[in-house]
Chains A and B, each alone.
Chain A
Amino acid sequence: MDMEFSPEDLAFQQEVRQFIAENYPPELRERQDEGEEMSKEDFLSWHRILHKKGWVAPAWPVEYGGTGWTPTQRFIWSEETARADCIRLMPFGLAMVGPVIYTFGTPEQKAHFLPRILSGEDWWCQGYSEPGSGSDLASLRTTAVRDGDDYIVNGQKTWTTLAQHADWGFFLVRTDKDAKQQEGISFLLIDMKSPGITVRPIITLGGEHEVNEVWLEDVRVPQSQRVYEENKGWTCAKFLLAHERTGIAGVAASKRAIEKVKDIARTEVDGDKPLLANAFFKRKIAELEIDLTALEFTELRSLAGPNANRGPGPESSLLKIKGSEIQQRLTELALEAVGHYGAPYFRGFGEGDNQHPIGPDYAHRAAPTYFNTRKTTIYGGSNEIQRNIIAKMVLGL
């Protein structure tokens, strides 16, 4: 056992650094630094650059377009992209439906959809949750009824992240009302431009338009767009949920976020010293770093330990719980650090006036980010549900 990078790993690290330095779009960097809300184009610009390089889907098997990197290389990749503040890639295609399609899809589905996910041509959204089915996902009521070669889909989905941009959605629908809950569900790929689909915004606490309601009224979906067998969609869903949870640990991003909070606390003054010298504040940073280290080594053990090839199991719930709590504490500390300047609400009012600034730039999004990040313990299976999973699946209670 060791944690050293080999000479090849170090060379790879250099290559990654250089690639980012030379290829990351400067306009995008500028918009990020100014705390602008990221547009579809912003997300896609970096996606396309990585696709051209062949690096957009490191986790995929090589035959479908993955990079064939070792776990160490993938670790380096996530560290370096976080360190350089690269915009995150949308997970819905790359991390969610892509793996479902290459694991369960037909040859035609693979041939059609996978390249379009890699290129960024299709933006995907996830249509699982419904108003009445959140934690209890298997109770979902959106129905798909056979009609010739098609299904006719009716129902309502909600919390659908960035569906306003989506070309395609992957949906869980009920195809057998009489079967036991989990057994009557199918996994459908639906063209979001299909007649009968309506997308309505839900505005979240920081003022963002990030989630939506999606209404489906007599939406016609060819059966060829069902992944895996009819009534076996829960298998795909469970597979995908476990995948979703590992990504959620977000270790590299949290490391970067700690550095940013420290920068703020070095700039903010507390009496005649920087805030970072305040014993209370410093201690909270230290505790966070220690917790993040514990999370990191827990994740590394599962990525590079004896069970590494088994795929994500119920222990990924641990990564989700601890990772999301750390993300929340980070935003809480940032808000605390900016003091009074957490209060101004910047959304939708005039351009800056340099003569009369409203607090430091780094304060502008502190409160909205804190509010918004409350989501991390709710989505992807709430932390209460994750604890239930650990109790049942890991502890056998």
Chain B
Amino acid sequence: MDFTYTETQDMIRDTLSRFLADTYDFETRQKFTASDAGRDPGIWQALAQELGMLGAAFTEEQGGLGGGALENAIVMEELGKVLGIEPYLPTVVIGGGALKAVGGAQADAMIPEIIAGNAIIAFAYAEPQGRYDLANLRTTAKKDGAGYVLNGHKGVVYAAPWATHLLVTARTGGGQRERDGVSLFLIDANLPGVVRRDYPTVDGSRASEIYFENVAVPGDALLGGEGTGLALIEQIVDEATIATCAEATGVMQKLHEGTLEYTQQRKQFGVPIAKFQVLQHRMVDMFMEVEQARSMTIMGVLKLGLPANERMAAVSAAKAKVSRGANFVGQNAVQTHGGIGITQELAIGHYFKRATMIEGQFGSHDYHLERYERLTLGE
């Protein structure tokens, strides 16, 4: 047993954290998230070209640094600390994860594009009626000659306005909520018939509603088997969920540190408010949530390779815990700051907003608790 990081992993963290300290201070981030594009594309380019960071989780044969889920977690935690909106999660963790899993010509063609920073992938999976159920799909992909025709509506697709490619879940058969008949496609984001409505999100990113209106996609857009894609989708969403737990850990750590710092400097009744025991205990509770979020993330990373049911139970345990923790730490960071905590002026409020959105991302606390119960205690 060994819970230490390798030298390469330490190097990845240090390099990234130094780079983000220079490029991603709060003011700068506020500026580019408010710009028309909603991002600074130069940062993504630098992550790819200067730092080689987009290859951290790919094998050396693929042109990467030989890492996997742990490297993804390291990158996501660092991004969490600066409220990074870079599309690392959908592009590398999810898109890259799917490509690694299916391999073959599609992976050979796309992975170098990801590592080079040329491809940005958005994950179009959620549908308005589906909540967190990955199989609840109305989007259809009908066989048409050698290819398929896509129709349907995907909701709140993060990073879609920036994407070169979309990773789409759709039904090639089966009823709306059946396990069978689900397929996964990686398509060019600009195919005719892809209609996007872009908007900002409350946590500073960009997303879109995507409507597929008779979109003709080539046959080789299908990743994995036709109609048997759900297991693969569950696997990559589990990987994404753990990566999100890692991001949450970074966000929560900053909320906690910011609170410690503020309460030692803010004086009321002639003393720093950190002297009030009720606030001390609150900050201790926040600290314990941060520590446990980090532990559960590592637990999840280490169990991602287990058989599906064990993997899913572990991921749900992690996410249930982290969702609660993000809620607690976010709310109490704001509370402990008093009025200044609910303004746009301090970073703390923005971390709170991101923590809030993470609570529900890839399933709420309740959703994961229920899945955990089902998998470990039976129906």
Contacts and interface: CB of A to CB of B under 8 A. Distances in A.
B342 A204 contact: yes
B278 A387 contact: yes
Interface string A348-386: 010001001111100000011011101101110011100
B155 A359 contact: yes
Contact of B128 (A341, A342, A345): A341
B345 A202 contact: yes
B269 interface: yes
Contacts of A371: 202, 342, 349, 352-353, 356
| Most chain B CB atoms below 10 A, which of A202, A275, A377 | A202
B356 A335 contact: yes
B215 interface: no
Contacts of A377: 335
Interface in A171-209: 202-205, 207
Interface string B100-135: 000000000000000000000000001011011100
A271 B209 CA distance: 21
B191 to A, nearest CB: 17
Nearest to A366: B202
B268 A339 contact: no
A271 B136 contact: yes
Interface string A95-137: 0000000000000000000000000000000000100111110
B209 A358 contact: yes
Interface string B276-288: 1011000000000
A240 interface: no
Contact of A349 (B199, B339, B344): B199
Contacts of A272: 177
B352 A135 contact: no
B195 interface: yes
A269 B207 contact: no
A33 interface: no
A100 B270 CA distance: 29
B331 interface: yes
A340 interface: yes
B376 to A, nearest CB: 16
Nearest to B126: A340
B342 to A, nearest CB: 5
A281 B366 contact: yes
Contacts of B339: 129, 134, 158-159, 211, 375, 378-379
A358 B132 CA distance: 18
A134 B268 contact: yes
Q: How large is the interface on A (under 10, 10 to 19, 20 to 34, 35 or more residues)?
A: 35 or more
Contacts of A278: 366
Nearest to A158: B339
A150 interface: no
A383 B344 CA distance: 22
B241 to A, nearest CB: 15
B207 to A, nearest CB: 6
B199 A205 contact: no
A356 B199 contact: no
Contacts of B207: 343-344
B252 interface: no
Contact of B156 (A129, A343, A356, A382): A343
Interface string A290-320: 0000000000000000000000000000000
Given A134-B268, A344-B156, A356-B209, A378 B202 contact: no
A270 interface: yes
Interface in B160-218: 177, 195, 197, 199-203, 207, 209, 211
A205 B353 contact: yes
A135 B338 contact: yes
Nearest to A370: B356
B202 A367 contact: yes
Given A205-B343, A205-B349, A358 B197 contact: yes
A366 to B, nearest CB: 9
A336 interface: yes
A372 B342 CA distance: 7
B89 to A, nearest CB: 14
A135 B263 CA distance: 13
B315 interface: no
Contact of B201 (A280, A345, A375): A345
Interface in A326-343: 335-336, 339-343
A223 B360 CA distance: 56
A341 B156 CA distance: 7
B228 to A, nearest CB: 22
Contacts of A135: 268-269, 273, 338
A349 B200 contact: yes
A372 to B, nearest CB: 7
A344 B126 CA distance: 14
Nearest to B205: A343
Contacts of B331: 374
Given A135-B338, A136-B269, A340-B155, 10 more contacts: A134-B339, A139-B268, A204-B344, A336-B366, A341-B155, A341-B156, A342-B202, A374-B341, A377-B335, A382-B335
Interface of B: 126, 128-129, 131-133, 136, 155-156, 158, 177, 195, 197, 199-203, 207, 209, 211, 267-270, 273, 276, 278-279, 331, 334-335, 338-339, 341-345, 349, 352-353, 356-357, 360, 364, 366, 369-370
Interface of A: 129, 132-136, 139, 158-159, 202-205, 207, 211, 268-272, 275, 278, 280-281, 335-336, 339-346, 349, 353, 356-360, 367-368, 370-372, 374-375, 377-379, 382-384, 387
22 contacts: A134-B268, A159-B339, A202-B343, A205-B342, A205-B349, A207-B344, A268-B131, A271-B177, A336-B364, A339-B360, A339-B364, A340-B155, A341-B155, A342-B202, A343-B156, A343-B207, A346-B199, A367-B353, A371-B349, A372-B342, A375-B339, A383-B335
8 closest Cβ contacts across the A-B interface? A280-B366, A136-B268, A340-B156, A343-B201, A367-B202, A345-B202, A345-B200, A203-B344
